[in-house]
Every structure is written in structure tokens, then in C-alpha cells.
Amino acid sequence: MNASQPAHRPFLVAVCRPDGILARDELASMKAIGGLDDPDLHALPLVDEASPHPVSDIDLDQYSGVIITGSPFGFEHPHEKKTDEHLRVEERIDALAAVLLKRDFPTFGICFGIQSLARASGAPLVQGFSEDLQAPEITLTEAGRVDPLTGALP
């Protein structure tokens, strides 16, 4: 980077799932699709009891934006059936989503992430529109290949 280029800030990734294959694959996909490297993404694991609380310990001004991951937890599950992990993730993501909306901070929510933002904005969540976990293959049409946004995709 030369002196005329501004330093870019990384993205904060609010990880709403336990560590494991899915969490690591989700992060790897963000890097691959976004053309990002390890320094570009700072993971904040919300499941881990020892991780910092996202509202009290995170300085959002150090980040370009926030990405909220998917999760095996669901907001629609009955409260009495939720584990301590589940409740901790909900409490933390609710607090973070409220701050992100209040600040109008650049945020991308994946599945559970977009649900958390919808809840924080007061929108109701509805059931009956879920889909099976899958990895569909997506190909570009001719129009997609010449589009300035999607044309650079493989």
C-alpha cells in the first residue's frame, strides 16, 4: 500500500454458530467469494462464553462493516427448550443488531443474521418458508456474464 491509498478496515464477522466444519466453511466462503484474506475478517464467536460481549467490548469504528453468520439456533424455538449457548447467542446478537441498526452501520446478514436484523427492527418472523440446507450450483447466463457486478464471478 502506498501513502496515497487509504488503509482499509477489516470486516467484523459475528459468528452465530459453534466452531466446527460449518463455521469454518462459512468463513472460507466469505474469503473466497469476497476476495478477502485472514486480516480482512475478524471473527467474533458469539457462542463462546469467554468471547467478548459485542456491544460493550467492540469498537465498530475499527471495521468497514459487519457480517452476521447463519446459525443452527432459531429464534422461533420455544424459550424453555433453548440451551444456554442458544440463549447467549440470541442475547448477544439482539444487542449487536440493535446497535448496528441505530448507527445505520453497513451490515450483511446471512439467514440467522438477517432474522436478527429483522427482529431488531421490529419486523415479525414467520414460519413456513424454510429451505433445506444445500449447496446449489449456480451458473451465469449471458446477461450475467456481461453484468458489471456478476460478470467477474467464476
C-alpha to C-alpha distance for 8 and 101, rounded to whole angstroms: 22
Per the CB < 8 A criterion, the answer to whether 64 and 34 are in contact is no
Tell whether 136 is covered by a domain.
yes
C-alpha to C-alpha distance for 134 and 26, rounded to whole angstroms: 13
pLDDT for 80-103, tens place per residue? 999 999 999 999 999 999 999 999
Mean pLDDT, rounded, for 15-34: 91
Tell whether 5 is covered by a domain.
no
Residue 134, domain extent: 11-146
Confidence label for 24 from pLDDT (cuts 50, 70 and 90): very high
pLDDT for 99-148, tens place per residue? 999 999 999 999 899 999 999 999 888 776 665 666 667 788 999 889 88
Tell whether 19 is covered by a domain.
yes
Q: How many structural domains compose the chain?
A: 1
